[in-house]
Structure 1
Amino acid sequence: MGALIRRMTLNDIPTLQKVARTTWNNTYNGIIPTHIQEAFLQRNYSETAMRNRMDRSLVFVAEIDGEVRGFANFFRSKQDYDEAELGAIYILPEMQSQGIGGQLLTTGIEALSGIKRLFVVVEKENSTGKRFYNSKGFLILNEFTERLDEHTLTLVKMVLTI
């Protein structure tokens, strides 16, 4: 099943907020406490934060039958033009493993014409995310910890060589 991949518009903000919340709650249930998830989502997916993402980075939306099923957010590195980061890729749980993530990834790489390396940081216990990145050829660079409010995350930085 192919999705229509397009650039985000302001009208997409409420739907993308819902996709982010649904996906985060599903993925991080039992990994990140609910109140930490909610605080993160409120900060990073507020109306203002979403407008900033749209203005400062590439956000692609995946639609099937006119409904948004996922999105991805890419940032080109300010230090190295050959590098970019996949800041987020969220697919509704019931739509995962249907090729939508791969379509979003391919679209982002094509839009970031000329990049040689794409980085992503994923929570170590996010087995779905790690499995996806591994299947697309990402390799683990390192593991580190970071605080998210009062919760410590163990994160894995991965790279895809283009």
Structure 2
Amino acid sequence: MWVRTASERDLQEINRLLVTTWHDTYDGIYGVDKVNEITGTWHAVPVLKQRLTQPNSEFVVVDTGEKICAMAFASTQDGKLIDLHQLYVLPEVQGQGAGGQLLDEIKVCFPEAKRIRLEVEETNQKAVAFYERKGFVETGRTANCGEPGSGLPALIFELALD
């Protein structure tokens, strides 16, 4: 497995990864219909395509040589704080190091950064445990995870960087 920059030719596969991962993680939390609605808007190929050229951002994937098994998207406004918008790993690959590889790459991509911030659904215990193992600490809560007005509550986690 290696990390590389996402490209336009990857977008359909990244979309499938996100849909699969979201259904695996969130069907029991939000219900299938809500997950379909979210993945149909937040993870649509045109939305993903815009991220490829977003200034001050990184869109990376973990590639096995046969498939993309994980992805991450992060951005910064000031170079000091990284907002980790997405980090998803296919269910069958979780626990094999892909998530850690993505976090390491994001840190390298923003060398001036002092902190990483992210939002995570409180009941997504796998993700909460993963981020806590990586040194993230809870710093707050939001009523609108992902985008303004989403109505999806989440924890806010941060990691101080050396």
TM-score (norm 1): 0.91
* Residue matched to 1:142: 140
Q: Greater shift after overlay, 40-49 or 142-151? A: 142-151
Q: 1:12 to 1:152 in 2, by over 3 A?
A: same
* Residue matched to 1:133: 131
* Residue matched to 1:74: 74
State the SS of the aligned residue for 1:30: helix
% identical aligned pairs? 25
Structure 2 unaligned regions, length at least 5: none
Question: Could you tell me which amino acid in structure 2 is paired with residue 11 of structure 1?
Answer: R
Shift, 1:114, TM fit: 1.0
Which of 14, 17, 20 does residue 16 from structure 1 map onto? 14
Q: Deviations over 1:40-95 (max 9, x none)?
A: 1111121210111111131111011331111111111x2x3210111001100010
8 Å contact from structure 2 (residues 72, 87) kept in 1: yes
Which of 6, 28, 41 does residue 4 from structure 2 map onto? 6
Shift, 1:151, TM fit: 7.7
Corresponding position: 1:155 with 2:150: no
Shift, 1:149, TM fit: 10
- Number of corresponding residues: 158
Task: Give the structure, 1 or 2, with the largest relative contact order (CA under 8 Å, sep 6 or more).
Answer: 1
* Residue matched to 2:87: 89
Q: 1:142 to 1:149 in 2, by over 3 A?
A: closer
Aligned partners of 2:43, 2:121: CA distance in 1, in Å?
A: 18
Structure 1 unaligned regions, length at least 5: none
8 Å contact from structure 1 (residues 119, 158) kept in 2: yes
